[in-house]
């Protein structure tokens, strides 16, 4: 029998080339996205806002979103922390009566302004939350004090007020929060409630608007730390003792070392889906991008008309999305990417 010799050089070359291509492919597949030095996103509430909004009011909202964004981005651009950036940003929104937080908070069914807030540090998984306060000018600052100056996470109503007595936060008379616009919203909601026929008909977008409103901010700083903050006056005509999603860590507010999330919309729906944490968990366990996770939450988990979200991931990517028709929102990053808007 004659032995056949197969040339080895061509086979060796083929093996080397194939191996190099394989290594190159693996390197390409495992490469990480480019990381931005810092990024911030904020919202001023999601719901139904008509595009027929008077031009001067629209301009006031856009200017306010621009100013809030400038406050937070300036802090980050100058090396400040994500926590400082989001607290100061939310402080501005709480002081601006255009938004349902702080000065512009809506009224409860009893004609009071009751405020909720939460903040979370993604680098430590520590958080602070308060609900039902009536004399704290900037609830998000009290929430941060809960996180940094107590061994607890969440204080409610009288307990939150007592804690506020023990720390350095600005206090005001409850009348400070009164705005005529929000008071008239309460009157309309209560009149509608009295109409028996309203319970027999499906809600329109205009009728659902009372359920929405909140402010929030999320950020990544130069050290890679992520943080989220949310503050709200709740929903117009809410019943005694009602607590929404905002101070519930994992529902309306959440941050870890992967992503920071703040929610706005119908609090009950956001809570039932533990929405902020759902986005973070989907990113982690499905190994998806921020945008894919946002799409999953808004389009598949929640029903149309339920809520909107802002988020920033560890690479400095930001995403803002709602299924309610509109969301006051703004975002920017160290690369100069910028977005400010109201409608989808």
Tokens 């968990």 belong to which residue?
281
* CA distance linking residue 108 with residue 329, whole number of Å: 25
Nearest by Cα to 231 from 114, 117, 60: 117
Q: Kindly list the distances between the CA atom of residue 90 and the CA atoms of 27, 41, 152, 251, in Å, as whole numbers in the listed order.
A: 41, 11, 22, 18
Binding-site residues for substrate sit at 242-245, 264-267
Is 214 noted as a catalytic residue in this protein? yes
Neighbours of 13 (CB within 10 A): 10
Residue from 329, 243, 248, 333 nearest 294 by CA: 329
Q: For residue 210, what are the contacts with CB-CB under 8 A and spacing of at least 6? A: 106, 185, 189, 235, 236, 237
CA–CA gap between residue 187 and residue 210 (Å, rounded)? 11
Active site residue: 89, 108, 214, 230, which one?
214
* Numbered residues of the known binding site: 242-245, 264-267
How far from chain centre, in Å, is Cα 38? 17
CA angle 315, 317, 321 (to 5 degrees): 145
Q: Which residues participate in catalysis according to the annotation? A: 214
């Amino acid at each position: 029998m004659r032995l056949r010799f197969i040339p080895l050089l061509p086979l060796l070359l083929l093996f080397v080339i194939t191996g190099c291509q394989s290594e190159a492919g693996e390197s390409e597949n495992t490469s990480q996205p480019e990381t931005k030095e810092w990024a911030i996103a904020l919202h001023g509430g999601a719901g139904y806002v008509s595009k027929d909004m008077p031009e001067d009011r629209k301009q006031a909202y856009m200017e306010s979103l621009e100013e809030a964004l400038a406050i937070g981005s300036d802090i980050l651009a100058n090396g400040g922390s994500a926590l400082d950036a989001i607290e100061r940003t939310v402080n501005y929104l709480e002081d601006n009566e255009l938004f349902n937080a702080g000065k512009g908070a809506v009224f409860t069914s009893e004609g009071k302004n009751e405020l909720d807030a939460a903040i979370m540090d993604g680098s430590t998984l520590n958080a602070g939350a308060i609900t039902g306060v009536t004399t704290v000018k900037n609830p998000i600052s009290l929430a941060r004090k809960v996180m940094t100056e107590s061994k607890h996470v969440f204080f409610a109503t009288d307990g939150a007020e007592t804690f506020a007595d023990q720390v350095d936060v600005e206090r005001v008379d409850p009348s400070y929060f009164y705005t005529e616009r929000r008071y008239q919203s309460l009157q309309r909601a209560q009149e509608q409630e009295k109409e028996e026929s309203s319970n027999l008909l499906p809600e329109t977008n205009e009728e659902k608007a009372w359920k929405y409103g909140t402010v929030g901010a999320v950020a990544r700083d130069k050290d890679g730390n992520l943080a989220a903050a949310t503050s709200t006056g709740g929903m117009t005509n809410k019943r005694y003792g009602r607590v929404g999603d905002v101070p519930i860590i994992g529902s309306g507010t959440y941050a870890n070392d992967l992503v920071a999330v703040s929610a706005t919309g119908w609090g009950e729906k956001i809570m039932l889906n533990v929405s902020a944490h759902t986005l973070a968990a989907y990113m982690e366990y499905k190994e998806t991008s921020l945008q894919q996770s946002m799409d999953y939450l808004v389009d598949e988990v929640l029903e149309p008309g339920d809520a909107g979200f802002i988020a920033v991931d560890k690479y400095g990517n930001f995403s803002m999305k709602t299924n309610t028709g509109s969301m006051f929102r703004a975002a920017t990053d160290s690369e100069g990417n910028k977005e400010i808007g109201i409608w989808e």
